[in-house]
Amino acid sequence: MSTNRRIVLASRPGANNEPRLENFRTEDCGYPVVQDGQVLAKTLFLSVDPYMRCRMNDDTGAHYLSPWQLDHACEGGGVGVVTDSKHKDFHTGDYVESFNWPWQNYSLVSPDGLRKLDPALLGGQLSLSLGALGMPGATALLGVREKGHVMPGANQTFVVSGAAGACGSLAGQIARLEGASHVVGICGSEEKCRLLREELGFDHAVNYRTDNVTDRLKECCPRGIDAYFDNVGGEISETVIKQMNEGSHVILCGQISEYNKDVPYPPPIPQVVTDILKDRNITRERFLLLNYLDKFEEALVQLAKWFHEGKLKAKETVMEGIEKTGEAFVSLMKGGNVGKMIVHVADP
Q: What pLDDT score does 262 carry?
A: 53
Buried b / exposed e over 185-221, threshold 16 CB at 10 Å, is bbbbbeebbebbeeebebbbbbbbeebebeebbeebb
The CA–CA distances, whole Å, from 257 to 45, 130, 179, 234 equal 26, 22, 29, 6
Dihedral sign, CA of 168, 170, 172, 175? Answer: negative
Altogether, the residues listed in the chain come to a count of 348
Q: What pLDDT score does 264 carry?
A: 57
Per residue of the chain (348 residues), give pLDDT as tens: 567 999 999 999 998 899 999 999 999 999 999 999 999 999 999 999 999 999 999 988 888 889 999 999 999 999 999 999 999 999 999 999 999 999 999 999 999 989 999 998 899 999 999 999 999 999 999 999 999 999 999 999 999 999 999 999 999 999 999 999 999 999 999 999 999 999 999 999 999 999 999 999 999 999 999 999 999 989 999 999 999 999 999 999 876 544 555 555 567 789 999 999 999 999 998 888 888 999 999 999 999 999 999 999 999 999 999 999 999 999 999 999 999 999 999 999
pTM of the predicted model as reported, rounded to 2 decimal places: 0.92
H or E, element range at 262: none
H or E, element range at 85: strand 75-85
- pLDDT tens by residue, 274-285: 999 999 999 998
Q: What pLDDT score does 257 carry?
A: 47
Tell me the DSSP string of 33-82: PP-TT-EEEEEEEEE--TTHHHHTSSS-SSTT-PPPPBTSB-EEEEEEEE
